[in-house]
Structure 1
């Protein structure tokens, strides 16, 4: 698995019998490139990122990168709940929208921003708890005790 950035993947060709690394096709796009090390599998950092993202999706959700991209296109690149564009959580993350899935069945439900995905998890993926939260928001008013404490 390639964890290093492309630029850091180098080896000394003189340590290998042929004295150089033969050009080979990129595993992501198929373009022939000159590798800098035997473990160099992709022609660019963009292709390396796509390969890693694809493996992550396959390993964790049993979907391909193409299936993820089709779902993202179907949702117009927006969160299925809040219609936001999402955001990248950390530098090693590549996707603004995360895969939401049913923990019981493993089936993918859609793509969500990190906040909406977290909210569902905090609400225990429960229709009942979510409905109680909705009812609370619709009926709750400011407590007279809280209003009086602000005046003091």
Structure 2
């Protein structure tokens, strides 16, 4: 059977397998390894264990699924990002784990906070935005000049402060406007305005 077209015998396990079960090796006449991928994997695993190195756990997964090394769950291929350099064409971590790592990295890089510190700030605010006291606190607010974290706000309040340029005077004028106090400038001469005190 080893002489059939598209089939080769593995020198380790002695089984006849299709060419797809063998890795490439250009120096051999047929361009394939002498042993199948499964035997090569088992040999590599036992060799690494004998050297005392950490070995990735071997798990039986159904076709079209992959084991996430971060969360330990078996998920379908649709739950993975593509990675052209990987042997199976998929990332080593599932989309959910990559997203969680991305959020944690963003907090640490931009604000110097861990997720636990951020959660502690949110719980000290009773889970609410400290400006509107209505929406849940989800966005870290910081001073753009000093980089100091001020608190955790809802999206609307955080973007409102940013759009007002982190300027306390602009916030006061906006509050006075909402309270009905006119802050309109008066025209003194053409092109010259006087702001109220």
Q: What TM-score does the superposition give when structure 1 sets the normalisation length?
A: 0.58
Which ranges of structure 2 fall in alignment gaps of 5 or more residues?
1-36, 47-54, 59-65, 74-93, 183-197
Higher strand proportion (structure 1 or 2): 2
Aligned length: 107
What is the root-mean-square deviation of aligned Cα atoms in Å? 3.1
Offset, 1:51: 3.4
Q: Give runs of ≥4 in structure 1 deviating > 3 Å.
A: 13-16, 42-45, 49-52
Give the number of the structure with larger relative contact order, counting CA–CA contacts within 8 Å between residues 6 or more apart: 1
Contact kept in structure 2, 1:21 and 1:36, CA below 8 Å: no
Q: Distance in 2 between matches of 1:104 and 1:85?
A: 26
- Corresponding position of 1:90: none
Larger radius of gyration: 2
Which ranges of structure 1 fall in alignment gaps of 5 or more residues?
1-12, 24-34, 87-95, 142-152
Q: Distance in 1 between matches of 2:119 and 2:101?
A: 14
Closer, same or farther: CA 120–101 of 1 in aligned 2, 3 Å: same
Q: What TM-score does the superposition give when structure 2 sets the normalisation length?
A: 0.46
Q: Aligned to 1:83, what secondary structure does the other structure show?
A: coil
Offset, 1:54: 1.7
